[in-house]
């Protein structure tokens, strides 16, 4: 069974090759824009996973709002012998169609294992 220990939206994240330690830079939950559609230059979704056995797990990242799906991507999560694994997905030039709260879902084997939110404001 795969579960999430932490989930953040941030400007960027760095995972150290030798230790797997993650540095998370610029956590946020809101984006303000003057008009729509708008492009957010860069953001990163980071998550810490835990499983009951080591291995590679398939997950799906989905962004959606009340009007439908905005973004979907597939990823592999590597769980080490300590039964944990860190992962990040860098999104460049993210197109935001409108000013609604977006739901960010991480799925594994067709089931939602985590839901986060990104609020888009017209300011």
Confidence at 106, pLDDT banded by 50, 70, 90 = very high
pLDDT number for residue 81: 95
| Per-residue pLDDT, 82 | 94
**What percentage of the chain has pLDDT greater than the value 70?**
99
DSSP string, 24-82: EEEE-SEEEESSSSEEEEEEEEEEEEEESS-EEEEEEEEEEETTEEEEEEEEEEEE-TT
Domain containing 15 equals 2-122
Taking the model in full, what pTM does it have? 0.88
CATH of the domain at 113: 2.60.40.1930
User: What's the whole-number average pLDDT of the chain?
Assistant: 92
Predicted confidence (pLDDT) at residue 68 exceeds the cutoff of 90: no
Tell whether the model's pLDDT for residue 123 goes beyond 70.
no
- Mean pLDDT, rounded, for 86-111: 92
Encoded tokens for 32: 């303000």
Model pLDDT, residue 44: 96
Domain count, the chain: 1
Q: Give the pLDDT of residue 94.
A: 92
In percent, the amount of the chain with pLDDT more than 90 equals 72
């Amino acid at each position: 069974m795969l579960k999430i220990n932490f989930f953040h939206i941030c400007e960027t994240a760095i995972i150290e090759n030798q230790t797997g330690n993650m540095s998370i830079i610029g956590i946020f939950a809101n984006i303000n824009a003057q008009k729509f559609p708008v492009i957010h230059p860069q953001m990163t979704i980071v998550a810490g996973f835990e499983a009951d056995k080591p291995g590679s797990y398939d997950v799906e990242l989905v962004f959606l709002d009340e009007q439908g799906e905005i973004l979907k991507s597939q990823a592999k999560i590597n769980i080490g012998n300590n039964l944990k694994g860190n992962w990040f997905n860098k999104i460049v030039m993210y197109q935001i169609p409108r000013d609604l709260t977006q739901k960010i879902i991480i799925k594994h084997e067709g089931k939602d294992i985590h839901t986060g939110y990104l609020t888009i404001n017209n300011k």
